[in-house]
Amino acid sequence: MSLIHALVGHGSTILAEHKADGRDFSQATQTILSKIPPNDSKLTYVWEQYFFHYISEGGFIYLVMADDAAGRRMPFTFLTELKRQPTASSSSLANMPPYGLQGTFGPTIAQLMNQYNTSPPTDELSRAQNELAQVKNIMVQNVEQILSRGERIELLVDKTDNMAQQATAFRRGARSVRRQMWWKNTKVLMLSVLVALILVWIIVAQFCGAGLNQCGAKK
């Protein structure tokens, strides 16, 4: 069995899904859904001998879990055909509650999965091969030990965001340090001037008195 678990979601909300056998990979699929960026993209995750392929388009996510024997062409062909189903991308589904399509669209996913697991259409696979050859943004991400790591799936976009945040934090920190150093230098300068004035007053007071009136009287 090549295709194991497929779903349609909006953001991280699963609208409908189908599991081809009794194994439960819900934690892995839910973790991946939570990490998929909102922009349109295609990507493959690898975990042990399993592959998680997804297409994100218009806020909807089409994801299928397959074993390594399926390769990538057949799963992405399946996702493309799943995406073409009229119910799978209707704008009215954006506010649908979790599993709101399970009763109506779940059987469609099951039927399509069974078709691709038994006798996938040759013409669709050939067309998909040509399309995939032109696609440059399908990446493979190794997510070994995904279940033991829980939420520790790091996407390239996460790393980019982290670097941007770190750069921003560094700039803010540098500005803060500069302000602190400026105030420190200003305080030292003011204190030095004050100490100098006090020393001058002490020296002059030795000859003219504390009120500095004796020098004026001698004149």
Q: What is the secondary structure of 28-84 as a DSSP string?
A: HHHHHHHH--SS-EEEEEEETTEEEEEEEETTEEEEEEEEGGGTTHHHHHHHHHHHH
Is 53 a residue whose pLDDT tops 80?
A: yes
Helix/strand/coil for 168: helix
- Between 164 and 48, the more confident residue is 48
CA proximity to 28, closest of 56, 10, 53: 53
CA proximity to 7, closest of 15, 38, 212: 15
The CA distance from 10 to 74, in Å, is 23
CB 13 within 8 A of CB 131: no
pLDDT tens digit sequence for 54-82: 999 888 899 999 988 888 888 998 999 99
- Map out the domains of the chain as residue ranges: 3-154, 165-218
pLDDT tens digit sequence for 3-41: 999 999 988 889 999 998 777 788 888 888 888 888 888
Q: Which residues contact 12 (CB under 8 A, 6 or more apart)?
A: 30, 33, 34, 36
Task: For the domain covering 3-154, report its CATH number.
Answer: 3.30.450.50
Residue 74: predicted pLDDT: 87
Predicted TM-score (pTM) of the model is 0.57
Residue 158: predicted pLDDT: 47
CB atoms within 10 A of CB 105: 22
Is 206 a residue whose pLDDT tops 60?
A: yes
